[in-house]
Each structure stands twice: as structure tokens, then as C-alpha cells.
Chains A and B, each alone.
Chain A
Amino acid sequence: MFEALQRLIEQIQGTVFETAVQPLLFRLGLMDWAEDSFDGIEFALYGALAVAVAYVVCRPLELWRPVECWDDRHAVRTDIVYTLIHRIGIVPAVLFVILTPIGTMIDGYLRFRGYIPPEIEQLVTPLYDHPFATFMVYMAVLDLGEYWRHRLQHRLPWWWALHSLHHDQRQMTLWSDDRNHILDDVLAVVWTGTIAMLIDVPPGEYPLVLIGFRLIESLSHTNVRLGFGAHGSALLVGPQYHRIHHSIAHAEPPFDRPRGCNFAVILPIWDVIFGTWRRIDEFPQTGVAALDGPAVRCGYLAHQVEGFRRLGAVLMHACNRRSPGFAAAFPARSTPSPG
């Protein structure tokens, strides 16, 4: 079945490229972007499939046993916009066009000085014969990188100013995973790109498996009263596990200590190893206590502008400690409502 699905996606990809994209590139004199555009269509198709799979799996769960029910789901609609423009490729395409030449320049510079990035297969030679195992090892390494990026997002005030956009959602649903500031996305690309440059890029032959990973990320934000139990929550990040991370009670400075926990994206083992694993039988309210109102319940563009405002205020405060910048960014700390 998976093979037939992959074949179908290849057919759609080829048809879209041949009939619409390639003629346009040819007319515009952009044929040197042909391969990248072809891959971009694949990214968009698998992204759309990932959204569909996440909806089919997670939405029934939200209807079945929701943690919270809301009459006004306006804030959720903003997250749907976030999801669509991220996963179907608009934001990734823009970042690819802007950041790829920079990455290529750095990679080319290192190459001229004799640096060829090592493959994990060279370090663990039995992996040469097991491409799927190799792929999973790469995903684990990247997941470790994501864990530490996430820790820094909570530790550094200026990064928290950006990441707080992801956390300020009080109506967390399956759509909330991609609720990120554009600068935060840039940093994510640079972070992951740097790791990929150091360990060489992971193999790309398992696009359907990547959908599985995206499903885990959507599921972890799903508004459902569901946990994976004592053992399961140590193996895979689930809705309850990640909801504890999003708890409104935890989103206060210094954010990743002493109460910040459960930073893992896919594999909770990183929280266990680095001492940030926490398992409690609660489904707390989500959000950032200091942030509410129009700054949180707004459309995509207004939310992005709000991110710049928070970042500017924090940077002002960093330059001049007497500036009320940080307080302006995070004005009040109301007592969190019980979850």
C-alpha cells in the first residue's frame, strides 16, 4: 500500500511539474531551479499528506476526549493558517531560497580547506548495509539537536521572546505545532542545517516515514485527554507529556528552570538523560500567564508583528537594564487557572 501511495505521489509530482512549474521556469529563465522546484513539489505534496493524516488521526481524538472545550475557536483558525503555510511549503520555500546560498557558501569554503563532512555510516560502519537503520540514527541525532535548540529557546530571553509565540496559545490543538515566529523558523533552519553540515545530510529516501514523525508532533499538541502511560511516555512524546511542557504554570522566567520540563520533540529519552523528564497525571491549562488578549488571539500577520515587538522589547532591556522592555514584552504574571 505504501509503495502504491508513494507511486501516486510521484505521478502527481511529475504531472504538476511538467504541466505547470517547468513551463513557468522556462519562460522566466529559471531553469537552474528545475531540480529544486521539483523537490519542492514533493515537499508540498508530502506536507499536504502529513496535514491530512494528522487531521484524520488527531481530530477524532479531540472530539472523543477533549481536555478543554471552547465556544470561540478563532485562535485555532490562526494555527490552521500557520500549519498550512508551513507544511505545504510556503515558509520553507522562502527560507530555502534565502538560506541555501549562505549554507552553500560556508560548505564550499570548508570544502576548499579539505573538510568533507563525515557520514554516520563511516563512524558506525555496519550501518552501510542497513539504510533504514541509518535513517533512524540520523533522525535520532537531529532529534537530540532539536531537544537542545528547544532548551535554548526557553533559556535565552531573546529566544524566548520569539518562542513565546508558540507557547502563548491557550487553545492548543493538533494545529499548534507550526505556530512559530518566522525568525524562529530561520534559526531552526540554521540550527538543523549546521548539524546536517557537520554530520552530513540525512538520507531522503523515506518520505513516508517523515510523515510519521510529523504525526507525532501534531499528536503531541492535540487537545485530547490521552497519555502513553509510565513506560510509553518514556519512549515517545505524547499529548499529555507535551501538554505538561506547555503548562501555563511553567512558562515563567527563567522558563527552563526550575519547573520547565519535557522539552523533547520525539524521543523523551533526552529529557530522561538531561534531567528534565517529568511525569504527572495532569492535563494542565496551556499558555503563557503574562500573555493574553489581542496579542495572543489574533491573525497570522498580527501575531508575527507581536513577535517582533516582544523581541525588540527584550533586546532593549538587554541593552539597558533599567528599560522596562522585558516587562513590556511580558507585562503581567497572572495566576494560572487550574488545569
Chain B
Amino acid sequence: MSLLRRAIAYGLAVAVAATLGTVASARASTAVVLNSDDDTLSVVSGDSYREISRVHIGRGPHHLIVSPDGRTLIVAMSGSNELVLIDRKTGVESQRIEASDPYQLGFSPDGKWFVTASIRLDHIDIYDAKTFQLVHRLPAATMPSHIAFARDSTTAFVTLQGTGSLIAIDLASGKVNWTVPVGPTPAGIITRASGTLLVGVMGSDYIAEVDPHDGSLIRKIHTGNGAHNFLASPDGKTLYVSNRVAGTISVLNADTLEVTATLIAPGGPDDMALSPDGRELWATARWRASIDVIELASGALKAMVPVGRSPHGIFVY
């Protein structure tokens, strides 16, 4: 990064810090939301359920994750072909790393590999997670979307929305282990404690449990139309599934996969996050430019917080 670029980055860092840092000190519950059509990052207060600020962050922000050491938020900017690293404690932008159309992103459980999926340009990139050096770039037809990892960190699993399939990639060699059909327009994917995979089948009304060894279908669990994405509770006992078309979020027992409740979440619920006290579920409502805040004890929709256009990734802390 040039000195001038560093200076510019510092300017943005100050802006982000002024919002994230200040709010973080005021109250523990704060949400960071990526508005993918606005190219902005919103900061939402968990006290007032209002957007406190909105800053321009770059083009096409979609998903974000926390680094394995918990110190950094990493934002995937598909439009501007970069990863934006933000210090989680201070809110200061620390680095921008060139990447090819990163849409979804994830670290392998051992922290060795970092993987991004390019849903628009049909490829998957595997990086050395320590250096962010590209190790493998694989074509993936078509629309590689969400990413999960084998518990032993040997394999990445990526849903292919365009072809209704799931691909398994050996991370060390970059070779494809298998590709199997999994259902129409698969999106979210998560690895269970048992090691099996759950895939949200957005073109239908179920999630599919898949054997990670060969991709064979184990069973289907009905959740709701447009089953899209997953969130596991920190204690591992509960799974949440957003159903985009139905406008609901299914609550599942993580052991039995039995649906225990269905929460109303209008506006095309997408990514989800739990408040630090575990009492609220926050979900981005893509089609209504807002955030659904649901009180888990009562199941009531507590607030709909207006943010920018097409809110996608969310992180609450």
C-alpha cells in the first residue's frame, strides 16, 4: 500500500472508528451491517434500535466474518475486488487486500486456509490464511455461494447456486473431490458437530443433510420456502434457518434437527446474528432495506430498523 493510500485508508479508519468505537463504549450491543447496493456500512444501536451512522466502505460489500484470533472483522467487497480488514476493538480500518470478486468468505477451523467464493465470476479462491497469498483458484460452475469446512480442515464445501449442486475441494491440492446435485438453488451451508453438512435449499422449502465424504443425501428437513442461511447458537444447541421466501426463521434443535419454533421475519431474511446476551436475533431483511430484531423469548418482532439498500452481512457485538 502506498503512503498516500495509507493516508486515505487512515481517513476512512477515523470515520469508522468514530462510529464503531464510540458506540462500542456506550453499550455492548451494536450491529454492523453491510448495505450491498449502497456500498456502505451501517452501525445500529442495540439500545435505540436506530441506525447511528452510515459510512461509505467501497463497492459491493456482502459478507463479513471475524478472523480466527477474534481481533479483526474482514469484509468481502465483491465490487471493488478487495478485503477490508477492520480492527474489531477500535473500529479502525487496518488493511485492504486485493482479492478477485470476494462475495462469501471463511477460514478453515485450524486457521490455515482462507477461502472466498465469487458468485458472479464462477470461481473459488484458496488463500494461505496467514499471508493472504493466493494458493489455488478453481473454476466453479456456476454461482459459488456459501462456504463450509470439514472439521479436520482438509476440505471446503461450497454451494453452487446456478447448477443446484455442492462441491467438495481438497484445500491442500485444490482438487475437486466430488460434485453432487443437492437441490434447486442451494445457498447457506454449515458443518454440524457430527461432521455432516446442512445445506439451505433456497429453490425449495427444506434444508438437506449431506454426508461430507461422498455428498450423499442423508435426509431433508422442512423449514419454509426459500430456506437460505444458517446460524448456530454459541452453545451449539440451537440452529436458526432463514427462509427468504416465507419470511420466517425456523428454530431447530441442533441435535435432532427438529423444528421447535417458527419466527416471523419479514423482508427476505438473510444473514443472522445473535445479540451478545443471546436474547435477540437480528436478521438482515434484504428486500426492505432494514434489520429485523426478534425477541427470542416471546418470538415477537421487536423492531425493524431502516438501514441502507439491500442489507446483507451482519455482525452484532
* Chain A interfacial positions (CB closer than 8 Å to B): 7, 10-11, 13-14, 17-18, 22-23, 26, 29, 31-32, 34-35, 38-39, 42, 104, 107-108, 111-112, 116-117, 119, 121, 125-126, 128-129, 131, 200-201, 203-205
* A residues less than 8 Å from B245 (CB atoms): 22-23, 26, 31
Chain A interface: which of B149-157, B252-260, B282-290? B282-290
Tell me if B247 and A31 are in contact (CB < 8 A): no
* B residues less than 8 Å from A10 (CB atoms): 288-289, 309
Task: Give the contacts of B1-32 with A (CB-CB under 8 A).
Answer: 2, 4-5, 8-9, 11-12
* A residues less than 8 Å from B244 (CB atoms): 22, 34
Q: Kindly state whether residue B162 has any CB partner on chain A within 8 Å.
A: yes
* B residues less than 8 Å from A17 (CB atoms): 268, 287
Tell me if A18 and B79 are in contact (CB < 8 A): no
B278-315 contact mask (Cβ, 8 Å, vs A): 1 or 0: 00000000111100000000000000001001100000
Contact partner of A125 (CB less than 8 A), chosen from B2, B268, B310, is B2
* Chain B interfacial positions (CB closer than 8 Å to A): 2, 4-5, 8-9, 11-12, 37-40, 56, 59, 79-81, 98, 100-101, 118, 120-123, 137, 139, 143, 161-162, 184-185, 202-203, 225-226, 244-245, 247, 267-268, 286-289, 306, 309-310
Q: Is chain B's binding surface mostly helix, strand, loop or mixed?
A: loop
Tell me if B122 and A104 are in contact (CB < 8 A): yes
* A residues less than 8 Å from B203 (CB atoms): 26, 29, 31-32
15 A-B pairs, CB-CB below 8 angstroms? A10-B289, A11-B288, A22-B268, A26-B226, A111-B101, A116-B98, A116-B100, A119-B80, A121-B80, A125-B4, A128-B5, A129-B8, A129-B11, A203-B39, A205-B37
Q: A10-B289, A14-B267, A26-B226 given as contacts; is B161 within 8 A of A32 (CB)?
A: yes
Q: Complex formed: what's the CA distance from A201 to B60 in Å?
A: 11
Tell me if B287 and A14 are in contact (CB < 8 A): yes
Closest to B80 in A: A119
Whole-angstrom distance between the Cβ of B144 and the nearest chain A Cβ: 12
Whole-angstrom distance between the Cβ of A34 and the nearest chain B Cβ: 8
* B residues less than 8 Å from A18 (CB atoms): 247, 267-268, 287-288
Closest to B285 in A: A14
Contact partner of A29 (CB less than 8 A), chosen from B4, B101, B139, B184, is B184
Tell me if A108 and B161 are in contact (CB < 8 A): no
* A residues less than 8 Å from B310 (CB atoms): 35, 38
Tell me if B289 and A116 are in contact (CB < 8 A): no
Q: Complex formed: what's the CA distance from A39 to B79 in Å?
A: 15
Closest to B59 in A: A203
Tell me if A116 and B268 are in contact (CB < 8 A): no
Q: Complex formed: what's the CA distance from A117 to B59 in Å?
A: 13
Tell me if B288 and A104 are in contact (CB < 8 A): no
* A residues less than 8 Å from B185 (CB atoms): 29, 31-32
Whole-angstrom distance between the Cβ of A126 and the nearest chain B Cβ: 7
Q: Complex formed: what's the CA distance from A34 to B286 in Å?
A: 11
* B residues less than 8 Å from A108 (CB atoms): 121-123, 139
* A residues less than 8 Å from B121 (CB atoms): 104, 107-108, 111
Whole-angstrom distance between the Cβ of A125 and the nearest chain B Cβ: 5
Q: Complex formed: what's the CA distance from A15 to B244 in Å?
A: 14
Q: Complex formed: what's the CA distance from A298 to B268 in Å?
A: 45
Q: A7-B306, A112-B139, A203-B59 given as contacts; is B225 within 8 A of A26 (CB)?
A: yes
Q: Which A-B residue pairs are the 10 nearest by beta carbons?
A: A31-B185, A14-B287, A128-B8, A108-B121, A131-B56, A14-B288, A31-B203, A10-B289, A32-B161, A32-B185
Whole-angstrom distance between the Cβ of B264 and the nearest chain A Cβ: 13
